Amino acid sequence: MTTLIVALAVGAILFGVGLYGALSQTNLVMIMMGVEVILGGALVNLVAFWRFLHPEAYSGQMFVLIVMTVMALDMAVGFGVATGRFRARGSIEMEEARDLKG
Amino acid sequence: MFPLVSATLFLPLVGAMLLVFMRGSSPRLAHAVGIAASGLTLLGSILMWARGVTGEGFSQVEEVAWIPSLGAAYRVGVDGISLPLVLMTAILFFVSLVFSAHISERARSYVALFLLLETACLGVFVALDAVLFYVFFEVSLVGMYFIIAGWGYEGRQRAALTFFIYTLLGSLPLLLAILALYLGSEPNTFDMRSYIDSPPLSGLAATLALIAMLVTFFVKTPVFPVHTWLPLAHTEAPTAGSVILAGVMLKLGTYGLVRFALQMTPDALKQLAPLVVALGVFSALYGAFVALGQTDLKRLVAYTSVNHMGYVVVGVGVAAATTDAEVRSLALDGATLQMVSHGVVTGALFLLVGMLQDRAHTRDMGAFGGLLQVVPVLGWAFVLAAFASLGLPGLAHFPAELQVFLGTFYVYPVAAIVVLGLAVTAGLYLRAIQVAFLGEPLGKWTGMKDLGAREVLAVAPLLLLTVLLGVAPFLVLEVIHATTAGLLP
Amino acid sequence: MIVAALIILGPLAAAVLILALRRLAPALALLGAGVSLIAALFTLSRVANGAAYSATLPGLPGLPLRLVAEPLTAVFAALVAVVGFFVMVYAVGYMRGEGGLVRFFAGMSFFVAAMQALVLAGDWVLLLAAWELIGFSSYLLIGFWFERPGIAPAASRAFLYTRSADLGLYAAIFVLISQTGTSEISRTLQAGGAAAVAAGLFLLLAAMGKSAQTPLHGWLLDAMAGPTPVSALLHSATLVAAGAILLIRAFPLLPPAVLVVVGVVGGLTTLVTGLTALAQRDLKRLLAASTASQYGLMLLAIGAGVPVAALFHLLAHAAMKSSLFLGAGVFQHASGDSTELADLEGMGRARRLTFLGFVIAGLALAGVPPLSGFWSKDAVLAATFVSPNAWLLAPLALAGTLLTGLYVGRALRLLWRGEGESEPVAGERWMGAGLAVLVVLAATLGLAMPPVAGLLGAELSEETLLVAAVGLVAALIGLALGWALPTGRLLGPVYGLAGRGFRVGGGFDGLVARPALGFARALDVFDRGIHAGVLAVGGFGLALARVADTMSDGIHAGVLAVGSASLAVARASRVIDDRGIDGLIDALVRGTRDLGARARELQSGLVHRELLLAAAGVALVFALLIAGSVGS
């Protein structure tokens, strides 16, 4: 049990760090890093729950793999967007991306 | 078979159409067209006469289906009663158009209207379809309206309007009667022959239909008390218009009496016969007396028409009332012959009075005097026509009136009082002759010209016919009798 | 048969030719009359030997026209032909120098043809037609000088009198044909009963008209205005004879009741017109009244039941009276065309030959033997004496005889006494020839009576000497008194009345013509009233139409008002729309827009801001979930 709590705490810390990073960074890449860390923290939680509660169900492992793939895809797309943005504007500072202002 | 009847019927209309398209033509040309058209129509009717009629039903029938589901079709034909009337109509129109050749004001319209009127009148006599009959009946009113309104004398507008509305209103009951006949016929048809062969109505329906028909035909004939349009229309109509009005259009009414009232509702008419005869007698005597009181020559002759047509009504009534076939044919022969005689004689009288009016610009008898010395041809023609009109034997009216009176005596001896009309008409005509033609001529008339060629050509045929009908009535009676001998079962 | 037909066709052809060629009028007329004469005499001789002719012509269906020449009709035909021819001869001379000869001779020829058709008629229709046609010829001939004043009314009056009386013939024919089913005269005479009485009376009415019997005698005197040959032919011997001829022919039909009436009418006429003749101041009018009187005698004979006596008197009278008229015509020309007795005073002395003829004929008329009038009048008197109503008829006949003598005597006196001067008369040879023959006939016709009686198979009444004597005495007394006494003394108080022809109550003019005209004019006013009524109906219709028009205008205005009200409502709703609803919607719109504007601020377009919002949202959801799970 204690291990579970520790794992969850790690996951929470990761989540928090990632959240702080995504919210406070202005650079797109940094925001993406923050999102990745969030996702990592979530993954840690997921693994902890699997390992300590239901180790026999391998659907947890599947889930983790899928999320990792999605994270990769997600990063690919994000870098694509960043590259595109850089080519269009010459910077990827999010403070300058106000085009969708309502 | 060459459709002679239809050709004769529509020839005048063709002439009228021709005139409509001949804009800017001279009056002479217009009159030439008119005389040619009516002359050809006369020829056609003579050929129809030569073809003759058989005793059974209608002859020379021409039929073209129109609305089979309604039973309405274009049907024309003649029998012994309508054929003499057709011939008389053709003669009168021809003569009128010859006489009218001097009219130069809007001659084209005048002649066209007359030709239209001729077709309408012929159509009434030859129609064998009730709708067709009614259409022609009404169209004749239109033609006459325009003739009076356009070429009449001073009060023509009013007279034309009165004439038109009066006789139009009078015609409406006939439409109701025709519809009643249509609805009563089995199967529904407008064919007049089937109405005659098997009368479709009986009882109250027949009586009501008969009354409706009598209203219409009494207005047209005319019979007291719905006769007052006649003197008005006559005095204001142009001369030829008067000739046609008296000579032909009055016969539309009496023909309708025979064709519709007598042949299509015989039992109802038999019941109403005493009333019809009484009305006829009264109308005859009334007309004679009122004529006696006239000073206007045209009005005088107009009222004698009421008198003569009264005899026709009496004849028809008597024919309806009797069961003896010989008496019936006697009365009907007389009535039909009277129609023809009246057309010829009164046509001549109106022509002569019109000629007098053309010269003197007045119709008042009192203004004249001694004219026999000044215009002998006109004068002696008038004397001849007047004596024919009062029923002198050897001239037109006598055979017809004798037959009618004799038939009346057979059925209603009391009604023979109608012969008093002879004495009254003798009085009125002798007075007219005495006042206008005998004695010393007044100074202002001494320059009056006698009849010219056109006028002689117009009136001579009528006078010849007057004598012919008086001396040899059997020429016409043969045709009439062929039909009347077997008329009602 | 052809010969018999020529009796009619001769004069008819003459009339037609005269009118067509307008030349040689006198010659053609004479030719026509001559042909008729020869044919008639020939036919008479044949018929006397037992032949009988008949012909049928087409007439009306069931009523063919028939002509028949049998003893009675052949005798009449001969009479008409003889008188017609000789009067025509006379007329050639009389009308010399006159205008309008074409009209005159055509009219005379036509009349002869019509009269022959009448006497030879075998059926009623032809008889009626001929009866009317002779009336028509009479009208034309009386009115020959129509331009002169007074002629036209005389001709009209003559025609109207007879035409009105002819209605009796019409009625009689209707009765007879309906009773017997045929129009053939001889067959219809077999009718009986009430029909015979009715028919007889109607026939009498017609006869009274044509033969100028009282009260229908007035026209004959006025008819004298025509030329004298017309008076001689038509109004003494033939046209006026038609009435008597009708009654003689119809005699088998007449029942005793009708015969009495006939006799009374005849007797009354004899009396009245005889007195009238006495009072006339014009020779022709005197003769006209005398004619009526003589026909009264004939009706007396018929009424007494011996028609053959009437026939004799008819024949004799035809000759006598026409002679008298022809003589009067000569006097007329001789006096410069006047027939007033005052102008003719002494004319007899001036023209003795004519006067001789006049005297012979006059004495014959009065009934002096051995002239024809004696025999005929004697037959009439004998008939009345032996009739069942002798008490009534005989005195009347005697009175008639007396009166005849009186006015003949008077006429002779007036023509003889005084100094007369005669002007030269044109055509006197012709006139004399016609006159002479007729005078001879007047004198000698008595000899023909027995053969005629034999021909007709009739028997004259027994001749008693008493009757003959009484008649002769009456005649002679009359002649003497008439010669001797002036008329005023003779007639006394009746003179004025007689002079006017016993016209009662204004006569025809006052009793018939003027009331009829007045009635006619009243009817005319009435008729115009009817027409005014009709026009009023029309006017009413027009008024109705105008009312309807006003009503329809009102309805239209109403419709328009509704329309404008709706428009007002529409306008009001538009206002409400504009301000109210639109305003509301505007506010709504603005509100929405403001809201939207404010909401816009949320959309900064900055990524991390968005992320912040997303994170805050997640945290909120998280908190809620925990709260929820804690709560449950």
Tell me the per-residue pLDDT of B213-252, one tens digit each, with 9 for 90 and over.
999 999 999 998 899 899 999 999 999 999 999 999 999 9
Q: Name the neighbours of C, counting chains with at least 3 Cβ pairs within 8 A.
A: A, B
* pLDDT tens, residue by residue, B64-100: 988 888 888 999 999 999 999 999 999 999 999 999 9
Query: Is A59 part of any domain?
Result: yes
Share of chain C above pLDDT 90, in %: 40
Q: Cβ B392–C167 below 8 Å, yes or no?
A: no
* pLDDT tens, residue by residue, C478-506: 888 888 887 777 777 777 777 777 777 66
Query: Is A28 part of any domain?
Result: yes
Q: Cβ C132–B438 below 8 Å, yes or no?
A: no
Q: How confident is the model at residue C258 (pLDDT cuts 50, 70, 90)?
A: very high
Residues whose CB is less than 8 angstroms from the CB of residue C378 and which lie 6 or more positions away in sequence, other chains included:
C367, C463, C467, C468, C471
- Structure token pair of residue C440: 């001879």
Average pLDDT over residues C577-604: 84
C619: contact with A, CB 8 A cutoff: no
Q: For tokens 């519709």, name the residue.
A: B260
Distance CA C393, CA C400 (A): 11
Secondary structure percentages of chain A, helix, strand, coil, to 5? 80, 0, 15
Q: Which residue has the higher pLDDT, B367 or B215?
A: B215
Domain ranges of chain C: 1-186+199-254, 257-502
For chain A, the domain total comes to 1
Query: Is A101 part of any domain?
Result: no
Average pLDDT over residues C440-468: 80
At A78 the pLDDT is 93
CB pairs under 8 A between A and C: 38
Average pLDDT over residues B141-153: 94
Q: For tokens 């967007």, name the residue.
A: A81
Residues whose CB is less than 8 angstroms from the CB of residue B154 and which lie 6 or more positions away in sequence, other chains included:
B236
- Structure token pair of residue C376: 């005929």
- CATH number of A77's domain: 1.10.287.3510
Element (H, E) at B315: helix B297-321
Q: Cβ C534–B228 below 8 Å, yes or no?
A: yes
Residue C420: pLDDT over 80: no
Q: How confident is the model at residue C535 (pLDDT cuts 50, 70, 90)?
A: confident
Q: For tokens 């990632």, name the residue.
A: A18
Cross-strand bridge partners of residue B59? B78
Q: Cβ B289–C167 below 8 Å, yes or no?
A: no
> In chain C, what residues touch A28 (CB-CB under 8 Å)?
607
Closest-CA distance, A96 to chain C, in angstroms, reads 8
DSSP C9-32: HHHHHHHHHHHHH-S-HHHHHHHH
Burial B306-315 (b: 16+ CB within 10 A, else e): bbbbbbbbbb
Lowest mean pLDDT segment, chosen from B122-126, B148-152, B436-440, C446-450:
C446-450
Closest-CA distance, B40 to chain C, in angstroms, reads 31
3-state secondary structure of A80: helix
Lowest mean pLDDT segment, chosen from A92-101, B167-176, C213-222:
A92-101
Q: Which residue has the higher pLDDT, B289 or C387?
A: B289
B103: contact with C, CB 8 A cutoff: no
At C424 the pLDDT is 78
Average pLDDT over residues C560-566: 90
Contact B199, B264 (CB under 8 A): yes
Residue C509: pLDDT over 80: no
C598: closest chain A residue by CA: A102
C153: closest chain B residue by CA: B434
A23: contact with C, CB 8 A cutoff: yes
At C11 the pLDDT is 94
B370: contact with C, CB 8 A cutoff: yes
Q: Name the neighbours of A, counting chains with at least 3 Cβ pairs within 8 A.
A: C
Residue B115: pLDDT over 80: yes
* pLDDT tens, residue by residue, B244-280: 999 999 999 999 999 999 999 999 999 999 999 999 9
Lowest mean pLDDT segment, chosen from B382-391, C105-114, C458-467:
C458-467
At B136 the pLDDT is 96
Distance CA B125, CA C530 (A): 31
- Structure token pair of residue C132: 């009317």
Average pLDDT over residues C507-521: 82
> In chain A, what residues touch C615 (CB-CB under 8 Å)?
19, 22-23
Residue C606: pLDDT over 80: no
CA neighbor of B221 nearest in space, from B311, B353, B140, B159: B311
Residue ranges making up the domain that contains A80: 2-96
At C506 the pLDDT is 67
> In chain C, what residues touch B477 (CB-CB under 8 Å)?
60-61
Distance CA C468, CA C453 (A): 19
At A102 the pLDDT is 64
Residue B376: pLDDT over 80: yes
Say what the ipTM of the complex is: 0.92
- B393: phi > 0 → left, psi -120 to 50 → alpha, else beta; which? beta
**Chain C window 486-515: which residues touch B at a Cβ cutoff of 8 Å?**
513
Q: Name the neighbours of B, counting chains with at least 3 Cβ pairs within 8 A.
A: C
Query: Is A102 part of any domain?
Result: no
**Residue from C144, C156, C188 whose CB has the most chain B CBs within 10 Å, to mutate:** C156
A25: closest chain C residue by CA: C608
At B348 the pLDDT is 97
Closest-CA distance, C1 to chain B, in angstroms, reads 21
**Chain A window 36-95: which residues touch C at a Cβ cutoff of 8 Å?**
94-95
Closest-CA distance, C556 to chain B, in angstroms, reads 28
Across the interface, which of C61, C173, C531 has its CB nearest the CB of B228? C531
Q: Cβ A31–C605 below 8 Å, yes or no?
A: no
> In chain C, what residues touch B409 (CB-CB under 8 Å)?
174-175, 178
3-state secondary structure of B75: strand
Cross-strand bridge partners of residue A27? A93
C570: contact with A, CB 8 A cutoff: no
At C493 the pLDDT is 73
Q: How confident is the model at residue C134 (pLDDT cuts 50, 70, 90)?
A: very high
Q: Cβ A31–C608 below 8 Å, yes or no?
A: yes
* pLDDT tens, residue by residue, C354-391: 888 899 999 999 988 888 888 889 889 988 888 888 88
Q: How confident is the model at residue B480 (pLDDT cuts 50, 70, 90)?
A: very high
Residue C461: pLDDT over 70: no
At B222 the pLDDT is 93
> In chain A, what residues touch C608 (CB-CB under 8 Å)?
22-26, 31, 94
Q: Cβ A102–C605 below 8 Å, yes or no?
A: yes
- Structure token pair of residue C515: 């009331």
* pLDDT tens, residue by residue, B33-72: 999 999 999 999 999 999 988 878 888 899 998 888 888 8
**Average pLDDT value for chain C:** 88
CB-CB neighbours of C46 under 10 Å: 16
Average pLDDT over residues C264-291: 91
**Residue from C593, C611, C612 whose CB has the most chain A CBs within 10 Å, to mutate:** C611
Q: What are phi and psi of C135, to 5 degrees?
A: -65, -40
CA neighbor of C407 nearest in space, from C504, C345, C456, C478: C478
3-state secondary structure of C625: helix
At C343 the pLDDT is 82
Q: Cβ C174–B416 below 8 Å, yes or no?
A: yes
C164: closest chain B residue by CA: B423
Cross-strand bridge partners of residue B129? B191
Q: Cβ C130–B293 below 8 Å, yes or no?
A: no
Q: How confident is the model at residue C417 (pLDDT cuts 50, 70, 90)?
A: confident
**Chain C window 113-172: which residues touch B at a Cβ cutoff of 8 Å?**
125, 128-130, 132-133, 136, 139, 143, 146-147, 149, 151-153, 156, 159-160, 163-164, 167, 170-171
Share of chain A above pLDDT 90, in %: 63
Distance CA C389, CA C7 (A): 39
